[in-house]
Amino acid sequence: MNLNWEAFLLNQQANIESGNHVVFPRIENSCNESISPVTHLNVLTVSGNDAAKLLQGQITCNVNDISEIKSSLAAICNPKGRAIATFLLVKKADTFLLILPIELLETVRKRLQMFVLRSDVKITDSSDELCLLGLCESGQPAKPFVNDTFQGITGISLPGLIKRSLLITDVDTAIGFYSEYINDKGFRLASSDDWRYLDIVSGIPWLTLATSEEFIPQMLNLDKLGGISFNKGCYTGQEIVARTHYLGKSKREMLLAECTTTTPPEPNATIINRDSNDQKGVGKVLLAHQNQGTCTMLVVLQETDLAYSQLALKDDTLTSLKLLSFQA
């Protein structure tokens, strides 16, 4: 995190916890409009004359469809078609920005660097130069993954039932924008964990170190989110991803679930069906968010188990999981 940005957040009475969680004191505020520091995601920049060509051969979406007004979710896969990381791909002029969890940024940077060779491509960790903000506004949600540029800020609309945008800008602009919306426009201070929750209920499948290379992109609903192109040509892992699509063999999918617990499960925790003697599990936890006694999570389950009412965490078999509909 940029030191000036960190100092500004601390001056706003933020508590910066491990894992880049930024927490603010809870203040009674009836305003539904809010702004969050998105400090758990960072920006990897890919630039140069051959940047688009390099990315086209390594990621699931069609890079040629990305423009300054259109972004996309995508994944970078290993040769077995398993997603190493998921990210939001944004284009600014001739530069591509990959927005992804901090813990996987270096993994993806090294992976892409392997394929640069003599290409005119520069891959840079831009976390110290760029800031990410989460903005929730009143009004109808915009079409997802459409870009809007204003006041030196690029905003990307996100899926969900509320009007929500991820903002990218430099540190000084972020500080000014943040101050204006809190002090002048009356927006509510929201924690980074609040933004994580909105990503979860909207079905955005961020991976972690624990879940990296565990799932093919269709198991993360990336096809439903427009993050996979099936006619763009070859990329690493494409054969498995395409075969799964055309043969209809993806027997797992990502769903939203909740349970009552005071201890949220870790990513990649096993889910079992209590009606079955098979203790190997019927699914995995992708991400979880704890709010007092309720835990909301993204889970990847076998399709044959979707109708079962006896889903539970393997490490807490007394806690039942309830499947929900995405808020998107």
Q: Which residues of 299-324 are buried (b: 16+ CB within 10 A; e: fewer)?
A: bbbbeebeebeebbbeeeeeebbeee
Cα–Cα distances (Å) from 114 to 109, 111, 122, 190, in that order, read 9, 5, 12, 39
Distance CA 7, CA 127 (A): 15
Q: Quick count: other Cβ atoms within 10 Å of Cβ 71? A: 26
CA–chain centroid gap for 270, Å, is 21
pLDDT the model gives residue 168: 98
Closest CA to 271 of 293, 246, 302: 302
* pLDDT per position as a tens digit, 244-287: 888 876 789 999 999 998 888 999 999 998 877 666 788 999 99
Closest CA to 73 of 255, 203, 267, 212: 203
Contact 159, 226 (CB under 8 A): no
pLDDT the model gives residue 202: 96
pLDDT the model gives residue 4: 82
pLDDT the model gives residue 30: 42
Cα–Cα distances (Å) from 89 to 24, 69, 172, 177, 227, in that order, read 29, 12, 23, 23, 10
Residue type (1 letter), 268: N
Exposed (0-12), middle (13-18) or buried (19+): which is 124, by Cβ within 10 Å? middle
**What residues of the chain score a pLDDT lower than 70?**
13-14, 18-19, 24-31, 249, 277-279, 304-308, 328
pLDDT the model gives residue 15: 72
Strand partners, 272: 312
Instruction: Give one word for 221, left, alpha or beta, with left for phi > 0 and alpha for psi -120 to 50.
Output: left
Q: Which domains does the chain carry?
A: 1-217+229-247 (3.30.1360.120), 251-324 (2.40.30.160)
Q: Which single residue is written with the structure tokens 């190997």?
A: 280
pLDDT the model gives residue 24: 66
* pLDDT per position as a tens digit, 30-40: 457 999 999 99
Q: Which single residue is written with the structure tokens 């009007």?
A: 163
Calculate the dihedral angle through the C-alpha atoms of 216, 212, 16, 180, rounding to the nearest 10 degrees.
-30
Q: What own/partner pairs with CB < 8 Å and gap ≥ 24 does 156-161 have?
A: 156/71, 156/88, 156/90, 158/199, 158/202, 158/204, 159/202, 159/203, 159/204, 159/225, 159/328, 160/198, 160/201, 160/202, 160/327, 160/328, 161/327, 161/328
pLDDT the model gives residue 280: 77
